Amino acid sequence: MEQIKTLFVLFIGGGLGTVLRYALSKLLNPLSEHFYWGTFSVNIIGSLVLGIVIGFSYKNPILYSNTFYPFLAIGLCGGFTTFSTFALENQSLLKSGHFLEFGLYIASSLVMSILAIGLGLWMSKFA
């Protein structure tokens, strides 16, 4: 029964994350013709939230085994962030010859995501 509860929580979290990602991408991607602000934003925000969730789970191990971690870390963040879209957008930038934007998009996405995880872990220390 616990396994079914976990699957249900993952399903709801993943679905919610996917809808939020879609909405943010529709809102932000039109801001630039050669930079995907929606995907960039969801990956940074998702990294920040994941860092916070993991930080809280370190401080309160009961959260890891409860529905909190599967819902937020695996479901919501997993549905919200998107590596496959990131890869597709980079392929599009390469194919269209936007090499500077390609380099900036990859570098800024990686650096900002790693910094966001660290910030989330740091923020969870103070909560």
Nearest to 90 by CA among 101, 74, 78: 101
One-letter amino acid at 32 equals: S
Owning domain of residue 56: 2-124
47-96, pLDDT tens digit by residue? Answer: 999 999 999 988 888 877 778 889 999 999 999 998 988 999 999 999 99
pTM: 0.88
**Number of domains into which the chain is organized:** 1
Tell me the chain's radius of gyration from C-alpha atoms.
16
pLDDT computed for residue 60 by the predictor: 86
In terms of C-beta distances under 8 Å and separation of at least 24 residues, what long-range contacts does 19-22 make, across chains too? Answer: 20/76, 20/79, 20/80, 21/79, 21/80, 21/81, 21/82
Neighbours of 49 (CB within 10 A): 20
